[in-house]
Amino acid sequence: MRRVITFVLIGLGVFALALGLLLRFYAYPNLAKAPLNPDSLSVGQGSGITALVFVKNGSADTPEIRRNLNLTSTTTVTGDFTQPEVKDGTDVASWIEAAIVRADGEPDLQPVDGSVRQLCVDRFSGEAVVPCESQYIQEGDYDDRVIGTRDELQQPGLSFKLPFDAEKKTYKWYDLTAKGAYDLVFEAEDTVKGLDVYRYSYEVPPTKIDERQVPGTLVGSTEPTVDADLYYQVKKTIWADPVTGAVVAGEQTGRQELRQAGEGAGQGTSVFEGTLRLNDDTVDRFVKAAEDNRSKLWLLTTLPVILWIVGPLLIILGVALLLLGRRDEDRADSDRRQPALARSDG
């Protein structure tokens, strides 16, 4: 009976080790993937914001700088199944992000800002990848759409989420306004509504992003129109679930200013200044989704560790029982031989 138990323990130990390896190094990479169609909605809000707005005025809109605005930013992310990169079992998703910023309680104003973009992302790392048939960035009218080529990475780095098993290190995050990837630096461990998260941030220093002709009255000039450069700067902070890489909270504080010739940093006309952060409802939903996905990944992350601990213990116990059984057999054989030797000596 002991021999049977011994081999059962050793077999279970080997099975536990093999199952742990299978779950962690085969099942996990194949199942830990962002969805092909995230169907995500996020809402950011801010108050006391200065912004350049366009006031509805018949067939023409009049630009105006307004202060102490309450803004709401609504962003949706959906999947595009029509793209050739998206197939059953694929590691690549094609996502479309649409964002619009409106002034609350200001029906006379056009939307403050808006954009649409599409790119392909690696479903595990979250990074933009090529080849990608449909890459574009559209700000404003359709004529403003900038289309990327299939084999050239238009929006490098991360844009929506961190990798699964996110690390305490620096990643590259794409800033849509500055049109570049910036260092997203790990800052600290934190908690958001009871969920353990990592906090990261990146900064874009004052950067020229456009050249415009604007009404002189907008920038304090007596000229009918003047040439001005638009400068942009921002600090963006995100709180991400390190297990799934999902962003569960975020905020950004930005400033944009129009600078005429000879004007330096801070000397121009501010056309945006303020902070937007994801509202409580969005954070609640994102935290709940992260918790649900964590529980689904438990079998693929935590269980293998348990199996790697239990497996060797079962094998050691089985080997110990095997050695103990052999020692008992050797002792029994020795006891049987001793009476025989005594009789022969007599």
Answer whether 200's CB lies under 8 Å from 171's CB. yes
C-alpha separations of 144 from 118, 318, 327 in Å: 14, 70, 84
Most confidently modeled of 3-12, 28-37, 218-227, 252-261?
Answer: 252-261
Beta bridge partners of 278: 44
**Does the structure show a pLDDT above 80 at 301?**
no
Q: What is the token pair recorded at 226? A: 């003047």
Rounded Cα–Cα distance for residues 178 and 155 (Å) = 11
Q: Which of 209, 208, 228, 212 is nearest to 220 (CA)?
A: 228
pLDDT at residue 316 in the model: 79
Whole-number Å distance between alpha carbons of 185 and 180: 16
pLDDT of residue 302: 62
Q: Is the pLDDT of residue 65 over 90?
A: yes
pLDDT bracket for residue 222 (50, 70, 90): confident
Q: What is the pLDDT of residues 144-195, one digit of tens each?
A: 899 999 999 999 999 999 999 999 999 999 999 999 999 999 999 999 999 9
pLDDT of residue 20: 52
Q: Is the pLDDT of residue 37 over 70?
A: yes
Mean pLDDT of 54-67: 88
Question: b/e map of 49-73 (b: 16 or more CB within 10 Å)?
Answer: bbbbbeeeeeeeeeeeeeeebebbb
Model pLDDT for residues 99-113, shown as the tens digit of each residue:
999 999 999 999 999
**pLDDT for residue 61:** 86
- The share of the chain scoring above pLDDT 90, in percent, equals 66
For the chain, which residues make up each domain, given as ranges? 2-24+301-345, 34-205+237-247+273-278
Nearest 5°: the CA angle 292, 297, 302 is: 120
Residues in a beta bridge with 238: 200, 250
pLDDT at 93 over 70: yes
For residue 95, the surrounding DSSP H or E stretch is: strand 92-103
DSSP 186-198: EEEEEEETTEEEE
Q: What is the CA angle 238-244-245, rounded to 5? A: 30
Instruction: Give long-range contacts, CB 8 A cutoff, 24+ apart: 300-305.
Output: 300/23, 300/24, 300/27, 300/28, 300/31, 300/32, 301/24, 301/28, 301/165, 301/243, 303/20, 303/23, 304/19, 304/20, 304/21, 304/23, 304/24, 304/28, 305/20
- 136, 146 in Cβ contact below 8 A? yes
Q: How many Cα atoms occupy the beta-carbon half-sphere of 165 within 13 Å?
A: 11
Q: How far apart are CA 63 and CA 260, in angstroms?
A: 17
Q: What is the pLDDT of residue 159?
A: 97
Q: Are 239 and 211 in contact (CB under 8 A)?
A: no
pTM over 0.85: no
Mean of pLDDT values over 313-319: 71
* Backbone conformation region of residue 197, classed left if phi is above 0, alpha if psi is from -120 to 50, else beta: beta
Contact of 247 with 198, CB cutoff 8 Å: no
Instruction: Look at residues 249, 245, 240, 232 and name the one whose alpha carbon lies nearest to residue 284.
Output: 249
Q: How confident is the model at residue 23 (pLDDT cuts 50, 70, 90)?
A: very low
Residue 22 has pLDDT above 60, yes or no: no
Q: What is the mean pLDDT of the chain?
A: 87
Alpha-carbon span 268 to 274, nearest angstrom: 16
Rg (C-alpha) for the chain, rounded Å, is 31
Residues in the chain: 346
pLDDT at 142 over 90: no
160 vs 20 pLDDT, higher one: 160
